[in-house]
Every structure is written in structure tokens, then in C-alpha cells.
Amino acid sequence: MGASCDHDHAASGLNEADTLQALDAAETACAADGERMTAPRRRVLDLLLRAGEPMKAYDLIAQFGQDGQAAKPPTVYRALEFLERRGLAHRIASISAYVACSHGADDHAAAFLICDCCGAAQEIAAPLSDGLRHAAEGAGYVIDRTTIEAHGRCPDCRVPA
């Protein structure tokens, strides 16, 4: 996302070995459910895992081609839709960006701490409260997924008190 602050931030993307392990695990999980991790889906997930920070769809499109050639937008958007549905990636609506899920593909409520200075986003555990679930059921709804977004400043960007 490009930092808007003037101090250094540690890179948070996965290294080569961890990226390949995560991609293989995602492919295995998809196959176990009878779905395919196609080359475009794998490439988009690869970009998200290596970035370690939120990425806009058009940045993914621009970086998609191994040879520097951009992808066609529908290719990346279809891949993102699949990855979201599978729980392998999340969309952070307030900044219109995507991140690889850091909590595995299991069903969970995603919560993000988003730094308004540098743009970093950290996924944290946020169990869906029984109160929200019961309120939804009382209104006749079944919650499929929940994403919580909290904006502030990361430890590197916080101004000392």
C-alpha cells in the first residue's frame, strides 16, 4: 500500500519456503473439497502471501504476470472471489484492499487492525459473540461471515505520549 510515514517498517510477507508451504496447503484443502486451485488463483494467493500487507486489486492485476505483463481484471477478480469464499483471503472494505488470511482457512470472524499512517493491517482473533449471533437469529438471519475493521496507528507509527 505504500507508506505515508517517514520511518521504517519491518517487512511482514512470507518467505519463499513458507509461501510455498501455504500455497501447497491451500491447494490440498481445495482438492479435499473437490475444488481446484487454478494457476490464476494460486498466483493471486502467492502475491498476497508475499506482500504481507493489504493489496489493491489493481496492484494485483499489475503484478500478476511473471513476465511483467498485467492480467486481465476479470481473471484477478474471479480469483479473489474464490479465495475469499474459501477463507484464504479477506477483503478490507474500508481501504478496498485484500490480504491473505493469517488464521488458516477455518471459518472465523476476521478482525483487522489497520494503521491509518502506514497502511499496515494485522489480522487478529475476533470470535463472533453469541450476542450478535442470537440477535441475528432473532431477526431471522444466519451470519455467513463477519469482518471487523478497527483503524488507528500501529506501534511503529504511534506518537509517544
In tens, the pLDDT along 32-64 reads: 999 999 999 999 999 999 998 999 999 999 999
Kind of pairing between the strands at 121-125 and 110-115: antiparallel
pLDDT digits (tens, 9 = 90+) for 61-73: 999 987 767 789 9
Q: Cα dihedral sign for 16, 44, 64, 34? A: positive
Nearest 5°: phi and psi at 16?
-55, -50
Angle, vertex CA 27, rays to CA 22 and CA 29, nearest 5? 95
Q: Give the Cα separation of 157 and 23 in Å (integer).
A: 31
Burial label, 17 (beta-carbon count in 10 A; 0-12, 13-18, 19+): exposed
10 pLDDT tier (thresholds 50, 70, 90): low
Asked if the model's pLDDT at residue 127 lies above 70, the reply is no
Q: What percent of the chain has pLDDT over 70?
A: 87
Q: How confident is the model at residue 1 (pLDDT cuts 50, 70, 90)?
A: very low
Q: What is the mean pLDDT of residues 6-10?
A: 67
* Element containing residue 97 per DSSP (H, E): strand 97-100
